[in-house]
Each structure stands twice: as structure tokens, then as C-alpha cells.
Amino acid sequence: MANILIVDDEAGIRELLSEILGDEGHDVVLAENAAAARAHRNAKRPDLVLLDIWMPDTDGITLLKEWSASGQLTMPVVMMSGHGTIDTAVEATRIGAIDYLEKPIALQKLLSAVKRGLQRPVTAGAPSALTLAAFPRSAPLSDLKRRLQQIGAKSRILLLRAGPGNLIDLAARSVKPDSAEWLDLSVITTALDVKQLQATQGGTIFVSELARLGRTQQKNLAFTVERLERFNLHLVVASEFGADALLADGWDESLVQRLFEVSLAPPGLADVQDDVPEIAAQLLLHLVEANEVPRRRLSTAALNQLRTQSWPGGFAELRAAVKSLAMGTLEEEISAADVRRVLPPPVESVHSVSFDQPLREAREAFERLYFEHYLRLEGNNMTRIAEKCGLERTHLYRKLKQLGLQVGRKNDDA
């Protein structure tokens, strides 16, 4: 029979529902809060979820939104509540719930809802793109989401001021998160057809960098701006450059003025460094759900390693790194050593060695940088370091000791 996850903070209700569904032959897993529900959903991949709305840590509607935003709403979800309203039921259905049960739940209504849910065909295809709604536990990202949606409620055009390590794509997807319709004008090099805008009705038009648009693409952008209202579209554009730079490059002044009326500078990954582990974990879940990578999970040490990395390429670079880790790791759990192999720290520049010193001291400073690099890269594994450096291990230990970098032999796994 089916694997069913019951999420409710009241132990009595969990046990009662578990007993009823167990008697029907189903395998039942219980979760007392949203945190446990997340863990069970990722580990068990249930066939159906019974989800209470009112819970102390994270309410059921928020958890439903999180699953939807992260591409994890791949199973039918039946909402439950003893204090629900019609508006709540409508919102839950809009997000993706298949049914809504009022407490106390009648036996026949419960069994009927479960039967309908399990009879639903499994939907194929890739999950929806990630939005900021997938990170409710991050205060700065939740704040950014609210700002974006506040702007989107009043303005159809938003300029995102790009910077190093930016979150442009993630921010753009969050201006109108309830719509899956998306059109990237950056990849269209021929004249835009009105049918393309019509097909994106109610969605978002995106440009990743204004300065890279050619003349035809600039005309497409102007064509789109004049039809945003007609097709209920939002336009989100990004640029590292100011209006003066575009005007100097020959852009139409009236178009530039329209584009720069409302702007926002989203944070870079360096600004939300403490949230990088959560972002990376959600990215991995999304990639797994989309069947782009094997089933993998990031260890705590690996997540900490990712947090300390520099991400000048922003969200896209982090996503590529997580995908590379998942594809290249042999074990189900991705370790810190895997992160070091895939993402070695940058080698310190030889120019950090001062030339205003005797040759012997300069050589020693360079050798210290050289061996520090390989100690980090290989996780202090003496066998691999010796192979990479072309030294006998005895000579390697002697050299590290001379440089004050001696590592105990307990780190040698040869």
C-alpha cells in the first residue's frame, strides 16, 4: 500500500490517524512539526501527506509554500485544520493542496480524501524554478522577498542593480512567484512576436544584463514595455551599469528612463554568508527532484565548507558547484573532502611574497604558500600530497617541519 506522512502537533490526532490508516494497510510516518516533516519528506518521499495548518514552529501553509517553491511538492497534500476558513482552504488549494479536511475529521471523509489523493496520476516533468519562498528560515532572504513583492504589486517594471556574487536570477523569479510563465529576452535575437508575449501572459519577462543587448533586442524590450499592461506582464531587468552608460552606448532615452524608474540592489552571497548552507541544501534538493543529479545529501562539514567559500559568480556559481558535487561524489553523503576536491581554495599569488628580502627567505615564503595550498587541498593526506609535489614522504615530512607546517603521521591514510 501507500507510504503516508502525517504532520500534526497534537499527539492524539497523530496516533488516531495513524491507527486508522494503518488498519487500511498503509505505512504511516508521523511528524510533530515542520522540521520533522521536512526530514521525513526528504528521507521517505511519501506517496501522500496529511498536513495540519496550525503548528507552533512553521504553519502548514508556509511549509506547503516552501515545498512548492523548492520543487518538492511532488506528492498529493491534504490539509487539516480545526480553525480553518474558506480563505485558508482556497489559498491551500491555490498553492497545490488537493483537499482540505476540517477537524474533527469524519472517518469516511478521511478515507475518501486519501483514496482520491492516491489515485491521482503522478505528474512528470521538472519542478518549478526556485524562488526566495524556498528559504523561509533566512531573515535577509525573506526580507528581500517581501520587498520584491511589494514593488511588484505597484510597478510592472523593476531594475535589479547587479553586483559581485549577486542573487539576480533568484530575486527575479520571486517578483511574481505564483506564475510559472517566464520569458528571457536575453536569448531572443530576432524580432519579438506578439504571440510570444501572449504565451507568457500573467508571467515575467526577464533580462539578465541590459548592457549585453543588441539593437534588435533593445527594440524587443521597448516593444515589450508598451504591452506589459495588455498581457498582465512584469518586466525584471538587471544591469551592473548606470543609465548614463546605456545612453552613451546609444540607447533610447525614453526607454532608459522607464527602466530606471524603480530599482533595487539585492544582496550578494557574501552578504548572506550564514545562509549559504541553507541555499546549497535547497539547491541540491531541487536538483535531485528534477532528476538532474543522483540522490545525494550534504554533510554538516560540507555545508560549512561551502559557507566559507567565496562566490563571485553568485547564485549561478553556487548552483553549478552543488551540481558538480552531486554528480562527482560516489557516496550518498557529500563530505568536506569532496568539497575541497571539487572547489579547492584559490592558490595564493606568488606576488604576495615580498621581493624586498634575501633570496633564501623569499624561497621559503613561497614554499610555505605552496605546501599550505596542498595541505588544504588534500585534507592533510600525506600520501596524496607527496604524489602531487613529487617528493618522497620522508622528504615531505622534513620539508614541512622546516617550514613550521609539520603534520602528524596520523593524517596519513596510506
When divided into structural domains, the chain yields a total of 4
Spatial contact of 118 and 48, defined as CB atoms under 8 Å apart: yes
| Cα dihedral 322, 62, 17, 96 sign | negative
* CA 141 – CA 177 distance, rounded (Å): 14
Question: Quick one: 233 and 143 in the same domain?
Answer: yes
What SS3 state is found at 78? strand
What is the structure's pLDDT at 407?
63
Spatial contact of 12 and 105, defined as CB atoms under 8 Å apart: no
What is the structure's pLDDT at 261?
96
Residue 300: which CATH number?
1.10.8.60
Instruction: Please give the C-alpha separations between residue 5 and each of 8, 47, 194, 224, 308, in angstroms, as whole numbers.
Output: 10, 8, 46, 46, 36
Amino acid at 185: L
Collect the ranges in the chain with pLDDT lower than 70: 84, 122-127, 179, 344-353, 376-379, 406-414
* CA 234 – CA 82 distance, rounded (Å): 38
Question: Quick one: 243 and 161 in the same domain?
Answer: yes
316 burial via Cβ count (<10 Å: 0-12, 13-18, 19+): middle
Residue 55 is assigned to a structural domain of this protein: yes
Residue 129 is assigned to a structural domain of this protein: no
Residue 32: which CATH number?
3.40.50.2300
Q: Which residues of 223-255 are buried (b: 16+ CB within 10 A; e: fewer)?
A: ebbeebeebebbbbbbbeeebeebeeeebeeeb
Question: Quick one: 139 and 165 in the same domain?
Answer: yes
Residue 361 is assigned to a structural domain of this protein: yes
Instruction: Please give the C-alpha separations between residue 150 and each of 92, 147, 176, 262, 317, in angstroms, as whole numbers.
Output: 22, 5, 10, 12, 28
* CA 92 – CA 96 distance, rounded (Å): 6
Query: By C-alpha distance, which of 17, 91, 12 is closest to 49?
Result: 17
What SS3 state is found at 101? strand
Question: Quick one: 283 and 240 in the same domain?
Answer: no
Residue 172: which CATH number?
3.40.50.300
* CA 169 – CA 274 distance, rounded (Å): 20
Domain final residue, candidates 342, 366, 397:
342
Grid cell of 96 as nine digits: 497545490
Provide the whole-model pTM. Answer: 0.67
Question: Quick one: 157 and 111 in the same domain?
Answer: no
Residue 92 is assigned to a structural domain of this protein: yes
Q: Are strands 263-264 and 297-298 parallel, antiparallel or unpaired?
A: unpaired
Domain final residue, candidates 94, 119, 144:
119
Residue 125 is assigned to a structural domain of this protein: no
Residue 128 is assigned to a structural domain of this protein: no
Question: Quick one: 141 and 250 in the same domain?
Answer: yes
Question: Quick one: 115 and 156 in the same domain?
Answer: no
The three state secondary structure string of 346-381 is CCCCHHHCCCCCCHHHHHHHHHHHHHHHHHHHCCCC
Based on its alpha-carbon atoms, the radius of gyration of the chain, rounded to whole angstroms, reads 27
* CA 67 – CA 75 distance, rounded (Å): 10
Spatial contact of 245 and 211, defined as CB atoms under 8 Å apart: yes
Spatial contact of 157 and 262, defined as CB atoms under 8 Å apart: yes
Question: Quick one: 310 and 233 in the same domain?
Answer: no
Residue 126 is assigned to a structural domain of this protein: no
Residue 405: which CATH number?
1.10.10.60
Question: Quick one: 250 and 222 in the same domain?
Answer: yes
Domain final residue, candidates 217, 246, 264:
264
Residue 336 is assigned to a structural domain of this protein: yes
Question: Quick one: 115 and 157 in the same domain?
Answer: no
* CA 405 – CA 343 distance, rounded (Å): 23
Helices 11-23, 107-119: axis angle to 10 degrees equals: 70
DSSP state of 99: E
**Residue 268 bridge partners (DSSP):** 166
Question: Quick one: 24 and 62 in the same domain?
Answer: yes
Helices 34-44, 60-69: axis angle to 10 degrees equals: 40
What is the structure's pLDDT at 406?
60
* CA 141 – CA 91 distance, rounded (Å): 23
Grid cell of 319 as nine digits: 548552483
Question: Quick one: 148 and 250 in the same domain?
Answer: yes
Q: Which domain holds residue 194?
A: 134-264
